[in-house]
Amino acid sequence: MNPRALPLLIGLGPLVVINFCYWLAAQNGSIPACMPYLDGCTSVSATGRHPPSSFLFRATMLPIAALIIVYWKLCAAWLRVLGAAGPLRAGALFAIGGTGGLFLIVYVTFLGSEGDFYNLMRRYGVTVFFGFNYLAQLMLAERVVMHDAALALPALRRIGWLKLAICILMLAIGLASIPVMNFVADKDRIQNVMEWNFGLLMLGNFALTHFLWRATRFELSPVASLSPREDATAADG
């Protein structure tokens, strides 16, 4: 079984759906019309808060959250087959990334609900989702860049460095949000711009894993495996 379409589905699917939900909500008058990546006139959450866009948002993002959990399980298996992570490191990667996926389910479930408890669930849901998935993506990129197999397979090293560069950009956005939250008067608009672009970078990082798995011909079987050539290369490393 070929799992390489999964990272593309997780990376590109939400990008298409969220932007379509934004357009649908703007057409319905639920949110302002603008270029949210540059103008920050609304948050990502607002695109899925009111009908009819909320129906599409939930119907799409709940399955995506489940697929993200599967994705991190496969990433852990891929690193082990590659020889880039032992059982503890691979297990930690899955635990962190999988927890992020679970909290995305919490966030989407309570999106649009009113009340202090629901607000708390949404806040924790989105914070843990972004934070834990960022950390898992950073761990994955570090393993690819630092492992010896990347020296023998230049494509792995290039993609690993690109994933690491995206993580650095995401960290820069996260750090920049701290003074914005505390010292900027019109902070909502700037935070919205940061949120849209942070999410875009995260989805791009998911999609890039497709090229890692393609470079090593990663496949699912009773025991996950790489192609003989790459598996031998990893063992030699």
pTM: 0.89
CA distance 217 to 3: 10
- Report pLDDT digits (tens) over 204-227: 999 999 999 998 889 876 555 554
Give yes or no for residue 83 having a pLDDT over 90. no
Q: Which residue has the tokens 């590659």?
A: 82
- 149 vs 118, more confident: 118
Q: What's the residue count for the chain?
A: 237
Per-residue pLDDT, averaged over 158-181, amounts to 94
Q: What are 121-144's pLDDT values in tens digits?
A: 888 999 999 999 999 999 999 999
Confidence band for 2, pLDDT divided at 50, 70 and 90: confident
Rg from Cα positions in the chain: 19
Q: Are 64 and 207 in contact (CB under 8 A)?
A: no
- For residues 112 and 69, the model is more confident at 69
Assign 230 a pLDDT band (cuts: 50, 70, 90): very low
Residue 175, pLDDT > 80, answer: yes
Average pLDDT, stretch 103-118? 87
Of all residues in the chain, the percent with pLDDT exceeding 70 is 90
CA–CA gap between residue 179 and residue 51 (Å, rounded): 34
Q: Averaged over 89-100, what is the pLDDT?
A: 97
Residue 1: band (very low, low, confident or very high) from pLDDT cuts 50, 70, 90: low
pLDDT of residue 228: 35
Q: What pLDDT does residue 56 have?
A: 95
Q: Say whether pLDDT at 42 is over 70.
A: yes
- Average pLDDT value for the chain: 89
Question: Residue 232: pLDDT band by 50, 70, 90 thresholds?
Answer: very low
For 186-209, write each residue's pLDDT tens digit: 889 999 999 999 999 999 999 999
Per-residue pLDDT at 117 exceeds 80? no
List the alpha helices (DSSP H) in the chain: 5-27, 36-39, 53-82, 87-110, 116-146, 149-152, 154-183, 187-215, 228-236
State residue 78's pLDDT score: 94
Structure confidence at residue 58 as a pLDDT band (50, 70, 90) = very high
